[in-house]
């Protein structure tokens, strides 16, 4: 018997080893199957997926904006950079003036209105809601040949109401002042007149339908004065200091420059925006676009 046992011992050992290996293989297989099943189950609950995709989901559609011509540069950079974030969304901009843009969003003819002045009580009473996108200085501009470089708010008010009509009264040449400004309903005009304190009292030589027209006509007349969004001012005109403070991004942000206003996106209370429009509004008012807004010559409020 001992001889038979010795003969079969190796065989029995081999059988035991095979059984052990088979048992290991059977226990490992369920673990390999279970892991993917558990992962799929977690995804099905939605507990983690929304966190990963929030703010990055691809959108499509069209967003129609309408309003302030002074916001053209800001809207230009915002729509360009947003296209990189959401290439499937088209943002249209129409510069028809602040008043028209606010009326448009209240009437439902555009998704977002654009205003370069504070909202009026009559507008908020109709449901207009303001979202601050940027701050902007309203520069008082003269022809580069004009020797006057600094005016007080009071002197500017006197010019626009006709109390002062010759540059010689302000230390300049003996020449009549050509008083230029925007058309009635313009956000730039409303902001300027309100801040300077000359609402309804201005004696304009000429009124223009856009910021570009004001700048172009001041550039072409050595005796002209006008006002324009700081972000739109170029080398063809000269921005005068107001009360000794030159209009710059820094002086607008710290509040030392007296003539400044907000750039607003306007929605209507109780009206739900499309996903594309809501996402664009959130993008435009985010602190993340501060450098983008600065590139357009305006000042981010955040």
Q: How far does CA 51 lie from the centroid of its chain?
A: 25
Chain segment 170-187, per-residue pLDDT in tens: 999 999 999 999 999 888
Q: Is residue 205 part of a domain?
A: yes
In angstroms, rounded to a whole number, what is the distance separating the alpha carbons of residues 142 and 144? 6
Per-residue model confidence (pLDDT) at position 49: 32
In a domain, 51, yes or no: no
38 in a domain, yes or no? Answer: no
Q: Which pLDDT score, from 0 to 100, does residue 70 have? A: 87
Same domain, 127 and 268: yes
Q: Is residue 282 in a domain?
A: yes
Tell whether 125 and 146 lie within a shared domain.
no
Residues 271 and 241 in one domain: no
Q: How many domains does the chain have?
A: 2
Are 270 and 253 in the same domain? no
Residues 183, 250 share a domain: yes
pLDDT digits (tens, 9 = 90+) for 208-259: 999 999 999 999 999 999 999 888 899 999 999 999 999 998 899 899 999 9
Domain assignment present for 276: yes
CA gap 123, 104 in Å, rounded: 12
* Whether the Cβ atoms of residue 236 and residue 143 lie closer than 8 Å to each other: no
Residues of the chain with pLDDT below 50 are: 1-55
Residues 256, 269, single domain; the answer is no
How confident is the model at residue 187, as a pLDDT?
86
Q: In this predicted structure, what is the pLDDT of residue 162?
A: 98
- Let me know: does 261 contact 301? Beta carbons within 8 Å: no
Residues 126 and 154 in one domain: no
| Same domain membership, residue 152 and residue 244 | yes
The verdict on residue 48 lying in a domain is no
Residues 123 and 232 both lie in one domain: no
Residues 240 and 141 in one domain: yes
Does a structural domain hold residue 16? no
Residues 129 and 159 both lie in one domain: no
Print the SS3 string covering the chain: CHHHHHHHHHHHHHHHHHHHHHHHHHHHHHHHHHHHHHHHHHHHHCCCHHHHHCCCCCCCEEEEEEECCCCHHHHHHHHHHHHHHCCCEEEEEEECCHHHHHHHHHHCCCCEEEECCCCCHHHHCCCEEEEEEEEEEEEEEECCCCCCCEECHHHHHHHHCCCCCEHHHHCCCCCECEEEEECCCCHHHHHHHHHHCCCCCCCCCEEECCHHHHHHHHHCCCCEEEEEEHHHCCCCCEECEECCECCCHHHHHCCCCCCEEEEEEEEECCCCCCHHHHHHHHHHCCHHHHHHHHHCCCECCC
CA–CA separation, 211 and 213 (whole Å):
5
Please report, for the domain that includes residue 281, its CATH number. 3.40.190.10
Identify the domain containing residue 141 by its residue range: 137-260
Instruction: Please indicate, yes or no, if residue 18 is contained in any of the structural domains.
Output: no
Same domain, 163 and 183: yes
């Amino acid at each position: 018997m001992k001889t038979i046992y010795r003969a079969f011992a190796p065989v029995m050992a081999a059988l035991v080893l095979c059984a052990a290996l088979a048992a290991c293989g059977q226990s490992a297989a369920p673990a390999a199957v279970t892991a993917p099943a558990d992962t799929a189950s977690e995804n099905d609950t939605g507990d983690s997926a929304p966190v990963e995709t929030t703010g990055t989901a691809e959108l499509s559609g069209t967003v129609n904006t309408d309003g302030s011509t002074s916001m053209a540069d800001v809207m230009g950079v915002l729509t360009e950079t947003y296209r990189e974030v959401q290439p499937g969304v088209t943002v249209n901009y129409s510069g028809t003036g602040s008043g028209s843009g606010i009326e448009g969003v209240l009437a439902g003819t555009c998704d977002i209105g654009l205003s370069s002045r504070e909202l009026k009580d009559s507008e908020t009473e109709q449901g207009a809601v303001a979202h601050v996108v940027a701050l902007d200085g309203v520069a008082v501009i003269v022809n580069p040949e004009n020797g006057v470089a600094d005016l007080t708010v009071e002197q500017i008010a006197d010019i626009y109401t006709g109390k002062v009509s010759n540059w010689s009264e302000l230390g300049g040449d003996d020449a009549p002042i050509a008083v230029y400004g925007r058309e009635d309903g313009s956000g730039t005009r409303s902001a300027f007149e309100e801040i300077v304190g000359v609402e309804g009292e201005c004696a304009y030589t000429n009124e223009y339908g856009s910021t570009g027209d004001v700048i172009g006509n001041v550039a072409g007349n050595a005796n002209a004065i006008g006002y324009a969004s700081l972000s739109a001012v170029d080398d063809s005109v000269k921005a005068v200091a107001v009360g000794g403070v030159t209009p710059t991004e820094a002086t607008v942000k710290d509040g030392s420059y007296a003539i400044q206003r907000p750039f607003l996106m306007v929605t209507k209370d109780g009206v739900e925006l499309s996903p594309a429009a809501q996402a664009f509004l959130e993008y435009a008012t985010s602190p993340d676009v501060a450098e983008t807004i600065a590139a357009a010559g305006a000042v981010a409020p955040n």
